[in-house]
Structure 1
Amino acid sequence: MINQFRNLNPINLLILFAYTFFMRMAIFADLPSSLQFEFLEPYTKFFIQIPLQNTFSPAGNVFFAGIIIFGQAILFNRVVNNHGLLSKPGYLPALLYVTASSLFMPFLILSPTLICNFLMIWIMDKFLKMGKASNAIMTMFDVGMIIAIGTLIYFPFIVMLAMLWFTLLLYRSFSWREWISGLVGFLTIFFFVGVYYYWNDNLSMFYKIWLPLTNKFPSVFKINYNDYLVLVPVAVMIVLATLQLRENFFRSFISTRKAFQMLFFMFLISIVSFYTKPDFRLYHFLLCVPPGAVLLAYYFSNAKKRWFYESLFLVLVFAIQYFLFV
């Protein structure tokens, strides 16, 4: 499977499509009686009404979620290949994206984070282009607006604002215009949101949008470790990928080094942003899939012993299927 996807063979697109729905067998075998799809945050529904609650049947919900994942995998694969993050272009990024997007049952249904991953991939592409740009002001402004749109869909996406400055530290020498342009782009969207609230005499509600930012980061976590055993093979792959990346780090292009540092920060920020939503669901961690899948693809792109990396991937696939079914 891994060796097949190391190449840019068009037949891999058909295999990937079949694989996407193969990884969803468990939920199709035991569909819930109903599935709710909340597309926008409550403060966004005040001025944008999209009645999606009863639009999809449970089967339709899972089917369209699979189609979205497949489409995102293709876009993600193109971004990774265009920026030369792996040793050679192939469909490994798409394969690992679909695999990582199937780890848990909540990942298999329509959710706001699933929609936000289109924006995550777009932001990744923008950031990866930054090193080659002579001026990053407009790029930062655009990314700020993208983050604002993502925040209208799913509030924890606002924490991606930190990526604006992490990325500038990595890629650019200091320019105050670049450092504020992303924030200006973000505030531009919310300025119009605030104006709408003001026109409708609900400015006090507009202030409440930002209250989750004052939440304290939780010091105690209630975790059922049996639910997360599927992450064991993922953790092994991440460790192996990190060792591989460390071995090749100073032999890589400077742009590649900076790209992986940027993706590492994006991965961490995606994880910790859950604190801004006290009632967050497991699907929140779908935001970790784009940066995480790059690291997984990097390992399989550079692994040498075929029997080992093919076996490791099969162990992951079987572990995912087992825990989804049980």
Structure 2
Amino acid sequence: MINQFRKLNPINLLLLLAYTFFMRIAIFYETPDQLNFDFLEPFARLLINIDLDNAFSSPANILIATIIVFIQALIFNRVINNHNLLAKPSFLPGLMYITGTSLFMPFMILSPALISNFLLIWVIDKFLKLGKSANSITTVFDIGMIIGVGTLIYFPFMAMLLMIFLALLLFRSFNWREWVAGLVGFFTVFFFLAVFYYWRDNLASFYQIWKPLGNRFPSVFQINLNDYLVLIPVVIIIVLASLQLRENFFRSFISTRKGFQLLFFMFIVAGASFYLKPNFRTWHFLLCVPPGSVLLAYYFSNAKKRWFYETLFVLFILSIQYFLFV
């Protein structure tokens, strides 16, 4: 199966679509009775009054989420191939993205984090273009605005602001205008939101938006390890990919090295940003899927022993299905 997706064959589009539905057999088989979809953060609903909480039935919710994941996988696949992060263009990034979004049941429903992944993939594309642009002020400003819009949809997306500065450190020599441009882009979105709150004579509520920033990072976590055993194959593949990446690191293009460093930090920032949402859900970690998928795809793109990587992938898929049904 991996060997098939190593090729840019048009037939892989159909196989990828079939694979997307296959990975969601468990949730189609045991459809939840009711699924709510909070499209926007409460503070943004005054600006855009869209009530989709109960707009879809459970089957429709899951079906729309499946189609969204497939579309995102194709966009993500194109972005990674365009920036030559893997050995050669393939459908592996899209395959790994779909696999990553199938790890847990909460990943398979409509959620703000799933919608935010459209913006996260767009941000990744713009970050990877920073090193190729002569004047990146406009690009950084755009990234700031995208992060601002993403924050309206899902507040922890704000943590991606940190990635602007990390990306500039990696890809650009210091220019204070570029560092300021990202913040200006971000606060432009919230400036218009503040004006709207002012018009509604509700400026005091606008200040409440920022209260989660004062949350302390939790020091104690209540985790049921049995719910996360499915991550064992993921960890194994990531370790193998890291070893392979280290072996090829200094033989890769400088832009490729910096790209993987950027995605590593993005994975950490996306995962750690859960503390910005006191009542966060498991689907928050969908934000970790795009950067994590690149590392998984890197391993399967460069692995040599076909019997081993094909067997490893099959075991990975079987473990996901087992834990989804059990």
Smaller-chain TM-score bracket: over 0.9
Instruction: Tell me, yes or no, if structure 1 residue 37 matches structure 2 residue 37.
Output: yes
Corresponding residue of 2:113: 113
For 2:310, the equivalent position in structure 1 comes to 310
Give how far 1:54 is off: 2.5
**CA deviations over 1:101-127 (Å, ceiling 9, x no partner):** 000000000000000000000000000
Structure 2 residue aligned with 1:269 = 269
Aligned counterparts of 2:84 and 2:159: Cα–Cα separation in 1: 27
Asked if 1:242 is matched to 2:245, the reply is no
RMSD: 0.5
Offset at 1:237? 0.3
> Displacement, 1:178?
0.3
Q: What does 1:205-284 correspond to in 2, within 5 Å?
A: 205-284=205-284
> What is the distance in 1 between the residues matched to 2:41 and 2:88?
40
Q: Which amino acid aligns with 2:6?
A: R
| Paired position in structure 2 for 1:83 | 83
> Which amino acid in structure 1 is aligned with residue 66 of structure 2?
G
Scaled by the length of structure 2, the TM-score of the pair is: 0.99
Post-superposition offset of 1:51: 1.9
Tell me how far apart the structure 1 counterparts of residues 35 and 275 of structure 2 sit (CA, whole Å). Answer: 25
Distance of 1:231 and 1:300 partners within structure 2: 17
Equivalent residue for 1:4? Answer: 4
What is residue 133 of structure 2 aligned with on the other side? 133
Give the 3-state SS of the residue equivalent to 2:132 in structure 1: coil
Question: How far apart, CA to CA, are the structure 1 residues paired with 2:6 and 2:197?
Answer: 51
How far apart are the structure 1 equivalents of 2:161 and 2:2?
A: 35
In 2, the alpha carbon distance for the partners of 1:115 and 1:222 equals 27
Query: 4+ residue stretches of structure 1 with deviation over 2 A?
Result: none
Corresponding residue of 1:182: 182
C-alpha distance in 1 between matches for 2:273 and 2:247: 31
Say whether 1:13 aligns with 2:13: yes
Which moves more between the two structures, 157-166 or 41-50?
Answer: 41-50
Secondary structure in structure 2 of the residue aligned to 1:163? helix
Per the normalisation by structure 1, the TM-score is 0.99
The one-letter amino acid of 2:206's match is: F
Report the residue type matching 1:25 in the other structure. I
Aligned equivalent of 2:68: 68
- Per-residue CA deviations over 1:117-154 (Å, capped at 9, x if unaligned) read 00000000000011110011001000000000000000
Query: CA-to-partner distance for each residue in 1:166-204, whole Å, 9 max, x for gaps?
Result: 000000110000010000000111000000001111111
Post-superposition offset of 1:53: 2.1
Measured against aligned partners, the alpha-carbon deviations of 1:256-313 in whole angstroms (never above 9, x if no partner) come to 0000000001000000000011100000000000000000000000000111101111
Any idea what SS the aligned residue of 1:227 has?
A: helix
Q: Give the corresponding residue for 2:154.
A: 154
The aligned residue for residue 104 of structure 2 is: 104
1:123 is matched with 123
Give the structure 2 partner of residue 192 of structure 1. 192
Distance 2:311 2:205 in 1: 54
The correspondence of residues 21-32 of structure 1 with structure 2, limited to 5 A, is 21-32=21-32
CA distance in 2, matches of 1:316, 1:209: 41
Q: Secondary structure at the match of 2:122?
A: helix
What amino acid does structure 2 have at the position aligned with 1:285?
Answer: F
Aligned residues: 326
Q: 2: CA distance between counterparts of 1:325 and 1:232?
A: 17
Q: CA deviation at 1:52?
A: 1.1
* AA at the equivalent of 1:211: K
Corresponding position of 1:167: 167
- Amino acid across the alignment from 2:84: G
* Partner deviation per Cα, 1:209-233 (whole Å, 9 max, x = no partner): 0010110000000000000000000
**Displacement of 1:49:** 1.1
> Percent of counterpart pairs with the same letter?
68
Unpaired segments of 5 or more residues in structure 2? none
Q: Distance in 2 between matches of 1:2 and 1:119?
A: 28
Question: 1:306 is matched by which residue type in structure 2?
Answer: R
